[in-house]
Chain A
Amino acid sequence: MESMVTRFYKAVSNGKIYGVKCRKCGHFTFPPKAGCMKCGAHDMEWKLISGEGKLQFFSSGNLPPMKFAKYHPYAYGAVELKEGPCFFTCIEGLDVSNVEALEAQNAKMPMKVKAKIKRMADLDIVIFKVEK
């Protein structure tokens, strides 16, 4: 079995973001896993994601893990992908400097966001950026 995790991150480094689609029931999983969350089958087809999504909620925590401490404060939110799954990651283009800003922006949800690849803590990862 090829490492799915390695394949995902290598693709991200090459500018491509993959999920997997179940060949049995069609359920989409992101990021890629070996089994289908919906039907339990394990015949998954790699598919590029559109990168389109809706930010549903976000905030900014004061207890980031050691490896992300240097990026603090940053927005962290739940993005509903066009393909269906919800993904939690860093969000660019939001003001997290004060409570009033957090509340005002959350009142505007859902907000259109677009996937972006960014190197954080020595790894190329998938984040989302607010679309203007």
Chain B
Amino acid sequence: MAYVGNLKEKPVITGVGCTKFGSVLTTPEIKGLGFQELVCTAAFEAMDDSGIDPKDIDAFYIGSMLSHSSHLYSHNTQMADWLGLHLKPAIHFATACSTTNTGAGLAAMSIASGKFRNVLVIGCDILSSAATDNPTIRKPTDPTTLWYWTDFGVDQAYGYHHAYDVATAYGGLPTLGYAKKHHIKMSKMDEAMREIHRTVKLHASRNKKAYVQTTFEQDAKKAGFKDDAEFWTSRKNPFLAWPARARSVLNTVDGASAYIISSESQAKQFCDKEPISIEGFHWSASNYPWYGKDPTDWAIDNTTFETAMKMAGITAKDIDYLSVHDCMQIYHLIESEICGYFKKGEAWKAVMEGRTRYDGDKPMNTSGGKHGKGHAFSASAGADFYEAVKQMRGEAKGRQIKDAPEVSVVHNHGYGMHSAVTVLKR
């Protein structure tokens, strides 16, 4: 068991912000925006949402993963004046795709130490395109180049150079391992993956900020299939790495997210929303590969869930809403069983029964996740926090969980592999 620790003063989320996720080259709501403008869009929404006077923000922590597409480092200095936070303490930090989950813990510790009263946490990545030497022009990124940059996060001494295969390692083997461990026929496993996807698309179709706006059924019909099961197994949904199909993986997008964490006593002075407290958090880092002969037994996540939940004083039965990092949709099953939201070997059945839908009894990833909402690397965890806070406040219009969750657990992975878990409570 890792050292649990505790906070001396209760940190609470007072405001959240998130841009539309999509492409700055084509998506109308964010078309033409650069890094600075995406960051400000998310940050200003969070400031307005919290009701804070910006001069009372004591520090900001900004995360961004790909310098190759942003053409930036020292994001903290370059964004200080843009954000209206000139001369404030600021840092750039990153744990890849878990960045804005990790940031919640960093900010919570800053608040609990008494050093700061209000901290703004921001994440932003632009994956559709790369900045050039002309600040008004972006160059589209092809997928091979994007993954070449992204794979800098994978064991560059050995693992990457030994025929590294992301789709197999991340999607294929965990899916295969889950089926084998629980004695599920591969045809049935494929059906379970189809039903996860159906739920992902349903949620995204009800989230205006999501990249994807259509349901699985609408996609099937548009592609000319009367039967969506036939569409799932068709050439239009090939295996990216058997048994993981193309529709079971992330969509890379552009976007920014932000939230403000304050001390409970400060929050009472300016925030008229229900404060969402950070009750527990933990992180764990592992080089690649992060699993061994059982592709579903992940020590990094066992540690983070166990420690964060112990810090929060909760058990799995207390979780009302679970958000897991689903760059591969098989993680809906693996992570929900690791944290105990479902018993071992039971999550796939729950998915088949629709229980993880927003209107089910065990809701998960109601934003649409990394396929439906889209995956903007360092901004994605913040988008997951945005969704959790909206659900807990009862503000998730169109996909609101019937009884607004009292306890939410948000899990994210950072490429390579980093695990971050945060427990939120209202």
Contacts and interface: CB of A to CB of B under 8 A. Distances in A.
B159 interface: yes
B171 to A, nearest CB: 8
A65 B160 contact: yes
A19 B408 CA distance: 43
Contact of B157 (A31, A77, A88, A110): A31
A100 B296 CA distance: 23
Contacts of B287: 33
Contact of A125 (B163, B172, B289): B163
A22 interface: no
B161 interface: yes
Interface in B169-225: 169, 171-173, 176-177, 180, 186
A47 B114 CA distance: 50
B242 A125 contact: no
Given A59-B168, A78-B292, A80-B293, A125 B162 contact: yes
A130 interface: no
Interface string A35-79: 000000000000000000010111111111110110100101110
Contacts of B137: none
A11 interface: no
A88 B288 CA distance: 9
B3 interface: no
Nearest to B172: A59
A68 B157 CA distance: 16
Contact of A88 (B162, B176, B180): B162
Given A5-B157, A57-B295, A61-B168, A78 B173 contact: yes
A62 B164 contact: no
Classify chain B's interface size: 35 or more
Contacts of A54: 293
A121 B289 contact: no
A106 B184 CA distance: 14
A78 B295 contact: yes
Contact of A86 (B167, B239, B242, B292): B292
Contacts of A85: 292
Contacts of A89: 162-163
A69 B144 CA distance: 10
Nearest to A88: B289
Given A57-B177, A86-B292, A62 B157 contact: no
A106 B158 contact: no
Contacts of B158: 5, 8, 31
Most chain B CB neighbours (cut-off 10 Å) among A63, A68, A85, A87: A63
A60 to B, nearest CB: 7
Contact of A62 (B162, B163, B239, B293): B239
B68 to A, nearest CB: 14
Given A78-B173, A126-B162, A60 B242 contact: yes
Contact of B241 (A61, A66, A103, A126): A61
B293 A63 contact: no
Contact of B169 (A5, A87, A88, A120): A88
Contacts of B162: 87-90, 125-127
A123 interface: yes
Nearest to A107: B180
A72 to B, nearest CB: 9
B147 interface: yes
B151 interface: yes
Interface of A: 5, 8, 31, 33, 54, 56-66, 68-69, 71, 74, 76-78, 80, 85-90, 99, 102-103, 106, 110, 120-121, 123, 125-127
Interface of B: 143-145, 147-148, 151, 157-169, 171-173, 176-177, 180, 186, 238-243, 287-289, 291-293, 295
Given A57-B173, A88-B289, A126-B162, 7 more contacts: A61-B165, A66-B144, A77-B173, A78-B292, A88-B164, A99-B242, A127-B162
